[in-house]
Amino acid sequence: MKNKVLFLTLRIFSATGGIEKVCRIAGKALYELGLQYGGRVKIHSMYGLKDNADGNKYFPQSLFTGFGGRKIRYIFKSIREGRKSRVVILSHANLLLPGGLIKFFKPSVKLVLLAHGIEVWRPFSAWKRYMLSKCDLVLPVSHFTKEKMKSLYNLPEERFSVLNNCVDPFLELPLQKEKNERLLTRYGLNAEHPILLTVSRMSATERAKGYDKVLESLPELMKIFPLLRYLVVGRYDVEEKLRLDNTIKELGLQDIVVFTGFITDKELAAHFNLADIFVMPSEKEGFGIVFIEAMFYGKPVIAGNMDGSEDALCNGEMGLLVDPENKNELVMAIKNMLENKAAYIPDQKKLIGHFGYTGYKEKLHEMINVF
């Protein structure tokens, strides 16, 4: 049987970012659709190694080929598989070259691009723009990303179909409803502390996640909530950590802010469970899987209103959207949530209705229209 779908990726299991998470879930959905409707799926990972997929929960290892960074081999093998496929899905704009070459050798193939956010918000070079024009369908993760691409690349409306990210079907709610005493002790916290949480990578080259804005709001909030603490989960580079430490010292927040560093997926639920509010007033979020994860864990959410976060919060139906540049607006949003947290607990039924895996798989099936 000829392959019906070839899914080209950069990384899936060899990194822990949001795009890799999207790829794992999309790979699972494509595999299950192939079983359900008849057809095969092949998944190529440019930087992954074959054993990266061993024992994974998303799809059989036999579907996966890792090329270990051997780009030329990846391109040639992908062209060969692509010529046997009806649909080729590109997980990232950096894969437009192999996608365009496949389209050149087999014009009838349906070429689909997943568009996440910042990687498509900047103008492409001429050759990349040409390759983009060869895509039959673009699946932006948010309406914000769609509108950005329409204005930048002059693509017609019918070339787009928004496919929001979904909650990972393997996420599990923490067994313990109370805050984990072991983690509280690890971070010098206790059950009396109202805790704000941000989960984000912190990098000197990417400072738009909004944790700075939260830091700046804390002195004002501490006047009302003297026991307030801010937990920031995620890996950081040395330069950014030094800058943040200096900011914290200037604001007198040394005993208020806790950086956990990188934590494993296994501990993620317990860390979310420590929080009273999840807050990340970002300005350059393509969608923000972390928002729907926070809501899955039952946390009230505050996000920015200047990017794809609006889709994740259903334009404010599922949480509070604030102007990231307006400190008073952020302070008031946090104050209102802390004083009436129960009113902002997300509706789980509505969350799954919008961002459940089953609905995501059905939308993907309708959009690629291959199985």
Distance between first and last Cα of the chain? 13
Q: What is the pLDDT of residues 63-73, one digit of tens each?
A: 999 999 999 99
Name the residue type at position 291: F
Same domain (yes/no): 83, 104: yes
The domain total for the chain is 2
Same domain (yes/no): 210, 318: yes
Strand bridging mode 257-261 / 41-45: unpaired
Same domain (yes/no): 89, 193: no
Same domain (yes/no): 211, 154: no
Q: What is the pLDDT of residues 98-108, one digit of tens each?
A: 999 999 999 99
Q: How far apart are CA 287 and CA 164, in angstroms?
A: 7
Kindly tell me the burial class for residue 217, based on how many C-beta atoms sit within 10 Å of its own C-beta (0-12, 13-18, 19 or more): buried
Q: What is the pLDDT of residues 320-338, one digit of tens each?
A: 999 999 999 999 999 999 9
Strand bridging mode 257-261 / 64-66: unpaired
Residue 127: domain span: 5-168+356-368
Q: What is the pLDDT of residues 141-179, one digit of tens each?
A: 999 999 999 999 999 999 999 999 999 999 988 777 889
Q: Which of 133, 34, 72 is nearest to 365 (CA)?
A: 34
- The pTM is what? 0.94
pLDDT at 1: 45
Integer-rounded Cα Rg, in Å, for the chain is: 21
Q: Which of 159, 162, 87 is nearest to 117 (CA)?
A: 162
Residue with tokens 């540049």: 325
Question: How many percent of the chain have pLDDT more than 70?
Answer: 99
pLDDT at 2: 59
Same domain (yes/no): 15, 98: yes
Same domain (yes/no): 308, 362: no
The stretch 198-226 carries a mean pLDDT of 94
Kindly tell me the burial class for residue 263, based on how many C-beta atoms sit within 10 Å of its own C-beta (0-12, 13-18, 19 or more): middle
The stretch 80-104 carries a mean pLDDT of 97
| Averaged pLDDT score across all residues of the chain | 94
**Residue 175 covered by a domain:** no
The stretch 279-308 carries a mean pLDDT of 96
Q: Residue 200 pLDDT > 90, yes or no? A: yes
pLDDT at 213: 96
Q: What is the pLDDT of residues 17-49, one digit of tens each?
A: 889 999 999 999 999 999 999 889 999 999 999
CATH of the domain at 237: 3.40.50.2000
**Residue 345 covered by a domain:** yes
Q: How far apart are CA 277 and CA 177, in angstroms?
A: 15
Same domain (yes/no): 151, 13: yes
**Residue 84 covered by a domain:** yes
Concatenate the DSSP letters of all residues of 224-250 into one string: T-TT-EEEEEB-B-HHHHHHHHHHHHH
Q: Which of 322, 279, 325, 321 is nearest to 300 (CA)?
A: 279
pLDDT at 81: 96
CA atoms within 13 A on the CB side of 205: 2
Q: How far apart are CA 109 and CA 102, in angstroms?
A: 8
**Residue 173 covered by a domain:** no
The stretch 105-132 carries a mean pLDDT of 96
Same domain (yes/no): 193, 162: no
